[in-house]
Structure 1
Amino acid sequence: MSEQSVTYVDLRSQTLAEQKRKRRGKPTRVTETSGQDIIYSDLKFHARSKQQRQQTPTSAEGKETPSPASPWVITVIPGLLCLALLVTAGVLGAMLFQASDQVRRLNEELIQKQAIQKNFTQLQKTLKNCTQQRDDLQAQKTNFSNVMNKTGDRCSSCPGGWIQHGGKCYHFISEKRTWQESKEDCRSHGSRLLKIENKEELVFINGLVCFHWIGLSRMGAATSVMWEDGTTHSTGLFQIKKKMPGESCVLLNAGEAATYKCTEQYRYICEKRAA
């Protein structure tokens, strides 16, 4: 349909008599076609101007059509999200590394503190043992002095440095050796490791002994502790605490006897008959 506008005008009809009155005597020849004359006005058709067409949008053009998203938006937004995720992951990784490093340093400090605590405990134990040994040595020195004052050097039938009691001579060696080495050293002096034979001798020895090897041991397949000369130990004389299974040797300290590894080094007591 062409873009044109139609202008409508009123159609007026007049009777022949009215027309004659208006003309007032002017003779007019009228062709009578019907009881009325019909006067037609011009029907004018105007083409719509370009401006009007632009001002009057069609119904289809009146609807807004959404513009497609720009390509850079589709590309940039996911890129920004990925960048944000990478930055977040980097920050979390740095925090995790820092936390793990702190945990490692705390573990190292804890291990060091545990080692220091262990060394401190060991030092306390060593100090206690040393204090006990000091007290024992002081008591031993006092007993030595008392024994020497009773027996007298001129009346002693024992070698120098030996102590006589009853019919025996005793030598308290301060050097530390294994049980076997102690046994061999006593033999080199014409003596043997101590053998306690009665209660009286036990009381005398207990006043002087301080972690010394004596002549008791359990060797090979033997199930009982025996003296160096092969005789069996009498449990009625004193009890022995079994601390070590298998081969073991007896250590005497302040009236208490216990089995230890024969390869450990301690002081020892040699004895022999008085001349």
Structure 2
Amino acid sequence: MSEQSVTYKDLRFHSPAEQKRKQRPKHTRIIETSEQEITYSDLKFHTPSKQQRQQRPTTAERKDSPPSSPWLLSMILGLLCLALLVTAGVLGAKFLQASLQVRRQKEELIEKQAILKNFTQLEETLKNCTQQRDVLQANNTELSKAVKREGDKCSSCPEGWIQYRGTCYHFTHERSSWQKSREYCSSQGSRLLRIENKEELGFIKSHASFHWIGLSRTAIGHGWVWQDDTAHPTDFFPVKIQEPGEKCALFKAGEAFSHNCTGQYRYICEKRATRQKTTELAQGR
């Protein structure tokens, strides 16, 4: 039904005459009304304007739709927007943190790869250096042997002396005291044995047995010295004391023992081997 305005006006009706009521048929139901004056209002319909229809909500809308509040709707929308912004911020922070962590792990992986590469190169360099060292040591050993062989060829020792690495050794069969042994070695242009290294010690062990060597001490409790007054290192090989008053060293079975200097024992003299050219030049003169 279209919206229209209604205008009411009064209408007046009077009761009909008695005669007219008698003339109606009997079968007709007559509704009698009291003789009253009935008033009706005139109805006028007006079409409202479009603006009035928009401003005046229909009855159905007023009954079905709850009253709306713009500020409440705005507040709800604002809260939703705030929640979305907070969520977006949290997700953005998580993403940034994850990105930084991935980047840091990638940098650490690159550094580890670089370190591993350098370590591999160092291992390879060390391996090459070790191989070169072994080659040089082998060449040095061969060169030392060659020099020794050539030196032995170019040098000589007196008859009855044994040459070892450019040194001549004389293991006597005569027996004498420590002092007499020292004097005899001096007369031969040599000295009583002085052991200077482990190689020489090994060589002497294979030949000496109960021989005087150039090691002595001046008094009880004093250190042992060689013939040239050089102190003997005790960590090289010790001198085992047999009697407190013994001052001279006797070499036997690869060890040194104190002994009475007047004892009669064999002895060992040593001197440098002479060059053949020097000997030949001396003979030519």
TM-score by length of 1: 0.43
Flag the structure with higher strand content: 1
The two structures have a TM-score, normalised by structure 2, of: 0.42
